[in-house]
């Protein structure tokens, strides 16, 4: 009981820490960017990705209702949710990860967001509502709406979709521990966002998260085994399902503080890859995020049983810190973290978020990162590395270009995005057919609808960005790029006194 009371007191102290202790307020010199403006726009982007019946509060006014019969072919209601990127399919795996990261942004830094907090909550709720629909039937999760191959054979607005809205699911006969555990993580993380503002909704989310995680753990297997022809090569689970089981358990432990999930992590952590040296964190591989999240339980709640996760999290961080013995991360000449050529910016934003979040935990515990012969790495240095990545994204780079649409004087104009690149329904009420839209894909002009806040895949290893709509690797935005950026921008805006 004494240990429990101590943990509760520590958690309350962390929640009430002053801004400079949480966010490192007090940077010397002027801010490189208007982080508050970028924060507002990064959240607004999610409204451009909405599917379903749009609410009266919709601010991205060129969008209209879409996908109003989604789920009908399977006699379920799957209206709503988000398109993950520039097409019209609703892929459940990256959507769930986007919601987990957006919720984590709010959980860690929502207290710094001020006026933008309500918009961020609305963005989380829009996704969480859909995930509740997708998990309404026990032992079944609806993981995708839309035939991806046929969707990609068309270039049309969401409002005009006439490609098959086929529904795909996982169940005991076709397991999907990866997508199921990620969905459980999203629901658990979202429950923390609404724990105080809407307790009844939070309880519903958490109860569903528990049920979905139990299904993921009981019926083990990768969803891209049984659904390979439908989800691959778009969102195959290349890393397997073990990382999601650890990630899901970590979120349920954080949301419930139940000894059952602590025991699960202790018993299964190593088998699920807690100590593996995979340091790429994104929609597919969640190991690094799980390590940082579980390390909080040791650093903040003082759960000594999870001490090893401090070392696991340190290993991930050290892989990104230049000059350390275990530095494994490649950077462009201009200073951008570079993992993969396809949508590299997702790794930039997710890594920056993890660095800032881990710095917060370390600062609370008055600890540093141990990188072997490289010496101690302080929370301040982690924040500086993260800030450099965000600044590059916003325009402090060799090209002088912001990679966030609508931010700064120079930003991507030819974004790989169907709805943004075609005339809006208001401008062109008539239907634009499947093949008719391809003229817009290869046109040279700017997109007629500005997808404000969208962050594209970003430049190549030589810091070059051609701004070509057909170049999906570099010009396509995605919800999982923006979701962790929301938290990072909230930290920076507060840190520089902009919030």
Active-site positions read: 416
Indicate the helix (H) or strand (E) that contains 384: helix 379-394
- Token output for 461: 């290893």
Q: Is the peptide bond before 486 cis (omega within 30 degrees of 0)?
A: no
The residues near 116 (Cβ < 8 Å, ≥ 6 apart) are: 39, 40, 43, 490
What is the Cα–Cα distance from 61 to 374, expressed in whole angstroms?
A: 51
What is the Cα–Cα distance from 321 to 382, expressed in whole angstroms?
A: 8
Length of the chain, please? 499
CA–CA–CA angle 304, 190, 158 (5° rounding): 140
The residues near 213 (Cβ < 8 Å, ≥ 6 apart) are: 180, 181, 184, 188, 248, 249, 252
The residues near 201 (Cβ < 8 Å, ≥ 6 apart) are: 125, 194
Contact 450, 406 (CB under 8 A): yes
Backbone angles phi, psi at 337, to 5 degrees: -60, 130
Quick one: which of 131, 49, 126 has its CA closest to 87?
Answer: 49
Quick one: which of 191, 293, 185, 186 has its CA closest to 248?
Answer: 185
The residues near 284 (Cβ < 8 Å, ≥ 6 apart) are: 235, 236, 237, 238, 239
- For the chain, first and last CA: distance in Å? 39
DSSP string, 287-332: HHHHHHHHHHHHHTS--GGGTHHHHHHHHHHHTTSTTSTT---EE-
The residues near 111 (Cβ < 8 Å, ≥ 6 apart) are: 15, 22, 117
> Which residue has 């909230």 as its token pair?
490
């Amino acid at each position: 009981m004494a240990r429990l009371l101590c943990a509760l007191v520590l958690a309350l102290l962390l929640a009430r820490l002053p801004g400079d202790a949480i966010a490192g307020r007090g940077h010397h010199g002027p801010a490189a960017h208007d982080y508050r403006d970028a924060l507002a726009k990064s959240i607004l982007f999610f409204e451009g990705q909405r599917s379903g019946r749009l609410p009266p509060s919709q601010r991205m006014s060129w969008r209209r209702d879409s996908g109003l019969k989604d789920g009908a072919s399977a006699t379920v209601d799957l209206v709503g949710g988000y398109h993950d990127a520039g097409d019209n399919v609703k892929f459940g795996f990256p959507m769930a990860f986007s919601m987990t990261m957006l919720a984590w942004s709010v959980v860690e830094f929502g207290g710094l967001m001020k006026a933008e907090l309500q918009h961020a909550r609305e963005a989380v709720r829009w996704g969480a509502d859909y995930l509740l629909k997708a998990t309404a039937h026990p032992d079944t999760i609806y993981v995708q709406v839309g035939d991806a191959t046929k969707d990609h054979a068309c270039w049309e607005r969401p409002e005009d979709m006439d490609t098959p809205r086929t529904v795909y699911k996982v169940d005991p006969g076709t397991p999907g521990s990866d997508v199921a555990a990620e969905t459980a993580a999203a629901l658990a993380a979202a429950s923390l966002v609404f724990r105080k503002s809407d307790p009844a909704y939070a309880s519903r989310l958490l109860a569903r998260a528990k049920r979905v995680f139990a299904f993921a753990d009981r019926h083990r297997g990768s969803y891209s085994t049984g659904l390979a022809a439908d989800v691959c090569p778009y969102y195959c689970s290349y890393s397997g399902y073990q990382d999601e089981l650890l990630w899901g358990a970590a979120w349920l432990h954080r949301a419930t503080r139940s000894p059952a999930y602590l025991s699960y992590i202790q018993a299964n952590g190593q088998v699920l890859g807690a100590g593996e040296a995979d340091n790429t964190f994104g929609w597919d591989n969640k190991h690094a995020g799980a390590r940082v999240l579980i390390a909080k339980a040791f650093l903040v709640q003082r759960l000594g049983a999870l001490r090893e996760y401090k070392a696991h999290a340190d290993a991930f961080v050290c892989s990104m810190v230049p000059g350390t013995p275990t530095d494994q991360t490649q950077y462009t000449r201009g200073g951008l973290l570079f993992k993969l050529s396809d949508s590299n910016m997702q790794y930039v934003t997710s890594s920056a978020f993890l660095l800032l979040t881990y710095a917060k935990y370390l600062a609370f515990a008055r600890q540093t990162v141990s990188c072997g012969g490289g010496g101690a790495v302080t929370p301040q240095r982690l924040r500086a590395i993260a800030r450099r990545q965000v600044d590059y994204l916003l325009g402090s780079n060799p090209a002088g270009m912001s990679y966030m649409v609508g931010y700064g004087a120079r930003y991507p104009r030819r974004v790989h995005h169907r709805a943004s690149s075609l005339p809006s329904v208001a401008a062109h009420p008539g239907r634009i057919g499947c093949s008719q839209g391809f003229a817009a894909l290869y046109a040279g002009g700017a997109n007629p609808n500005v997808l404000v806040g969208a962050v594209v895949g970003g430049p190549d290893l030589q810091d070059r960005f051609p701004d070509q709509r057909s170049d999906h690797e570099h010009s396509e935005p995605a919800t999982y790029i923006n979701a962790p950026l929301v938290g990072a921008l909230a930290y920076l805006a507060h840190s520089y006194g902009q919030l």
